[in-house]
Structure 1
Amino acid sequence: MGQFDGKTALVTGATSGIGLAAARRLAAEGAHVFVTGRRQDVLDEAVAALGGQATGVRADVANLDDLDRVVAAISARGAGLDILFANAGGGEFAALSDVTWQHYADTFNTNVGGTLFTVQKALPLLNRGASVILTSSNIDVKGAGSFSVYAASKAALRSFARSWAAELVGQGIRVNAIAPGPIETPGLSGLAGDPAEAEQLLKGLAAGVPMNRLGKPDEIADAVLFLASDASSFMTGAEIYVDGGASQI
């Protein structure tokens, strides 16, 4: 018996890294997990890895029509939604002098707009007692050169968690955020231009963590399971930093 037997979950951006790790853990604990990703071939691989407990829906969270298809698939199952992990997002380095409108729009449309409309469209499906979890970042309380647009988008998600928690508490729906530090994922390595630059980037990021290492996706998934479960039943509007102490020490 898993702690999420009979529960339904949605994890966006679930084809690799944090999203895939969280989806795997939720499925292992008995939840039926709907997972999204932008590339059908990679999504199919993720669903196959998750086994019979998963349903994949190809979707870009910045596309409202795609989000409608995700919600329709969950609705058709007829069990509502108990866990929503709005995880899809991303960003690129850009110094202030180099920021373009497209860079800003791409980052905010995915990270902020994608999260906003994922939660909004899923709202009618959320069962009483549901847990909504947003992927923020420890950069929402730190300064980072050449990463200001990304940092601002994550600060917006921290604000969403507080406001939505206040708005939905009367419906028995909890909203919390997870703020990872640097996590060893394909997305993090992808910020660099080539493998040599990626190695330098990861070493530099690890050196800035008090624990002197990068985090692992499963370590974030542990926090997701905590916020999704009754173990966090007296938590809403909170943000958990899972960053090796980087934002605290």
Structure 2
Amino acid sequence: MDKQLDGRTVFITGSGGVLGSTYVRRMLEVGAKVVATDLPGARADTLKEAHGDNPNFGYYDLNVGVEEEVVEIFKRVMADGWQPNVVLNNAAITGEMLMGAGKPFPDFADTSVEDFERTMRTNLTGAFMIARQMDRDIVGKYPSALINVASMYALNGAHHPIYDGMPFKNFSAYGVSKAGIHGMTVWLAGYWAKRDATVNTIAPGAVFNGHSEEFQKRVGALIMQDRMAQPDEIADVMLFLASKHAGHMTGQMVNVDGGFSAW
């Protein structure tokens, strides 16, 4: 098997979700050491059960929205002998996650400031705090890379009719936060350019995660390939961005959306 990430230690936030857990699995398969973080709970437990016996895997509880936790995370990780040289800003709150907390999905007019700001705190401010701490603890000390995870809705408007009659909608704060993620990428790319650090954005398209056939049909009609992505198809590109082969890329957004953004 191609060990394209040999010598890389990859630090991932939001590691327990459908994409995060796929990144963890695939990176371990191709030779990386992986430091996974997430909120404590079932998702974290599943990760630890799957990979806890692998000496190249480490897990740490982390809420990226809590500054005190972020300030200490790289120090904790390094004290345990890990040396992250690739960081994935992957943690995010989606509208479905808000519903999972027992809340009905609000119309835009009924969106609370609390839910909007909570989403921004995790998706954008949390990503900023991780990058800031990377600047303090990693950047300039050895070559490194930051990969910010955006979305097909970062720079493209949501197609609201596909959500008609569905139990969830496209949440405004999600798209806003993901646009901000790429803004941070291009700002940091120039700021870190002379410190041997690259910064790029990956923008996944619609990823299948148990969606209904009707929703798959509606989304597929917006995509050149006429289907949603499988998580491993997003991970294929993430592996490249995390590898030495992407060493001359910085400040870029890579769309992995089956042609959604190219219509």
Specify the TM-score bucket, using the shorter chain as the normaliser.
0.7 to 0.9
Q: Does 1:125 align with 2:149?
A: no
Query: Which ranges in structure 2 are unaligned for 5 or more consecutive residues?
Result: 96-104, 161-169
Q: Which amino acid aligns with 1:177?
A: T
The answer to whether the Cα contact below 8 Å between 2:216 and 2:227 also exists between their aligned partners in 1 is no
- Which structure: greater helix fraction? 1
1:131 Cα shift? 1.2
* Conservation of the 8 A alpha-carbon contact between 2:138 and 2:144: no
Q: Report the counterpart of residue 62 of structure 1 in structure 2.
A: 65
User: Under a length normalisation based on structure 2, what TM-score does the superposition of the two structures give?
Assistant: 0.84
Match of 2:93 among 90, 95, 101: 90
Note the alpha carbon deviations across 1:184-233, whole angstroms, 9 max, x for none: 237xx5xxxxxxxx554343223322211111111111111111112112
**TM superposition outliers: structure 1 runs of 4+ over 6 Å:** none
Aligned residues: 239
- Give the corresponding residue for 1:73: 76
Question: 2:20 is paired with a residue of what secondary structure?
Answer: helix
2:83 alignment partner AA: G
Q: 1:115 — aligned with what? A: 127
Structure 1 position 96, deviation (Å): 2.7
- Cα contact 1:89–1:111 (8 A) shared by 2: yes
Q: How does 1:198-217 map to 2 (within 5 A)?
A: 198-217=212-231
Secondary structure of residue in 1 paired with 2:220: helix
The offset of 1:84, in angstroms, is 0.4
Whole-angstrom CA distance in 2 between matches of 1:243 and 1:54: 29
The residue aligned with 1:192 is: none
* Equivalent residues of 1:5, 1:31 under 8 A apart: yes
Match of residue 163 from structure 2: none
Contact 1:82 1:131 in 2 (8 A): yes
Letter in 2 for 1:181: G
Structure 2 letter corresponding to 1:134 = N
Percent of pairs with identical residues? 28
Gaps of 5+ in 1: 190-197
**Distance in 2 (alpha carbons) for counterparts of 1:220 and 1:183:** 8
- Between 209-218 and 36-45, report the one with greater CA deviation: 36-45
User: Is the CA contact 1:178–1:242 (under 8 Å) kept in the aligned structure 2?
Assistant: yes
Identify the residue that residue 176 of structure 1 maps to in structure 2: 200
Work out the CA distance in 1 between the residues paired with 2:71 and 2:45: 20
TM-score normalised by structure 1 residue count: 0.88
What is the rounded CA distance, in whole Å, between the counterparts of 1:201 and 1:69 in structure 2?
Answer: 41
Mapped to 1, the partners of 2:43 and 2:119 lie a distance apart of 22
Distance in structure 2 (CA, Å) of the matches to 1:28 and 1:160: 30
